[in-house]
Amino acid sequence: MRFSQRVVVVTGGAKGIGEGCSRVFAKEGGLVAILDRDIQAAEQTAQCLGENHVALPCDVSDEKQIASSIAAVIDRFGRIDCLINNAGIHPPDTPIDKMTPEEALGVLRVNFLSTYAMCYYALEHLKKTKGTIINVSSMTAVLGQRNSTAYAASKGAQLSFTKSLALECADYGIRVNAILPSNVDTPLMHKWASSLADPQAALQRIAALQPIGRMADVEEMGRVCLFLATEDSSFITGQGLHVDGGASLDY
Ligand SMILES: NC(=O)c1ccc[n+]([C@@H]2O[C@H](COP(=O)([O-])OP(=O)(O)OC[C@H]3O[C@@H](n4cnc5c(N)ncnc54)[C@H](O)[C@@H]3O)[C@@H](O)[C@H]2O)c1
């Protein structure tokens, strides 16, 4: 029980990597607040975790919904020990001349501005617990990704934000880190693959990008987040941890 009676807020915690985080933290005794725009899926996931967890409807691209969700978490649990900024989208493969600046801004709003706003509203509560913040960025933040300029830029923004916020937050005893996954077997991954000419071949090619020969499963991401949320990582802050099965080694 490495997170007993402590409270974790997971954006996009209903499915994919967020669901993996929710499951791992709940197993370790944590109280999980799932913030997700898909409230049906969020309620289902919260129910599967057992008693004492909560699902809240929240579209993280809307600052007002973020503010009221944080208030609802405090009403319910009275504290926040860890914030995982995970909710994100990956648009279909699109070259820059086919994605307008307005559309790119939409990607940044969901993937990056939400991270900023969540931290903005949760900070006063994290100060009280000397908590942790974990931003789910991506390997594309440092390596780039063809036909995904807006996505990769939003993930790069999350990473540089992590480093700068870690400097500010060190004064409060709050640690801030990011994880940089390569390829994780999630609904998002399958949706993205289905936008390509041959989805099955794409999924096989993606699995082979990891020297260990497969994609990650979602709880592997959750376990890394748990590490970053506990004393086990007490001397780590401002880092972007590659959680990529070695995918970045042989580029
Ligand atoms: N899957 C991968 O291989 C991979 C790799 C690197 C980084 N990531 C990042 O991990 C994060 C999670 O990805 P995933 O693959 O688990 O995605 P997913 O689509 O499988 O699950 C995302 C969850 O976030 C929720 N969500 C989406 N937009 C939201 C919004 N505006 N407000 C609230 N909730 C919202 C969805 O309802 C869903 O529950 C994303 O930030 C993604 O960029 C994923």
Closest CA to 69 of 36, 41, 94: 36
The response to whether residue 14 sits with its C-beta less than 6 Å from ligand 1 reads: yes
Same domain, 60 and 177: yes
CB distance 67 to ligand 1 below 6 Å: no
Buried b (16+ CB within 10 A) or exposed e, 174-213: bbbbbbbbbbbbbebbeebbeebeeeeebbeebeebbeee
Q: What is the DSSP letter of 217?
A: P
Q: Is residue 249 part of a domain?
A: no
- Shared-domain flag, residues 97 and 188: no
Q: Which two tokens stand for residue 129?
A: 């617990």
Q: Domain containing 233: what range?
A: 7-181+218-242
> Which two tokens mark 25?
């933290």
Q: For residue 122, is it within any domain?
A: yes
Give the SS3 label for residue 210: coil
**Ligand 1 atom nearest residue 12's Cα:** 24
Q: Does a structural domain hold residue 251? A: no
Whether residues 16 and 70 fall in one domain: yes
What is the spatial distance between Cα 238 and Cα 7, in angstroms, rounded to a whole number? Answer: 21
Rounded to whole angstroms, the Cα distance separating 235 from 233 reads: 6
pLDDT classification of 164: cutoffs 50, 70, 90 = very high
The reply to whether 211 and 136 lie within a common domain is no
Using a 10 angstrom Cβ sphere, with 0-12 exposed, 13-18 middle and 19 or more buried, the burial of residue 4 is: exposed
- Determine whether the shortest distance from the Cβ of 183 to ligand 1 is under 6 A: yes
Q: Model-level pTM greater than 0.95?
A: yes
The pLDDT tens digits of the residues spanning 68-83 come to 999 999 999 999 999 9
Ligand 1 pocket member 187 (CB < 6 A): yes
* pLDDT at position 212 over 70: yes
Q: What is the structure's pLDDT at 251?
A: 61
Whether residue 173 sits in one domain with residue 228: yes
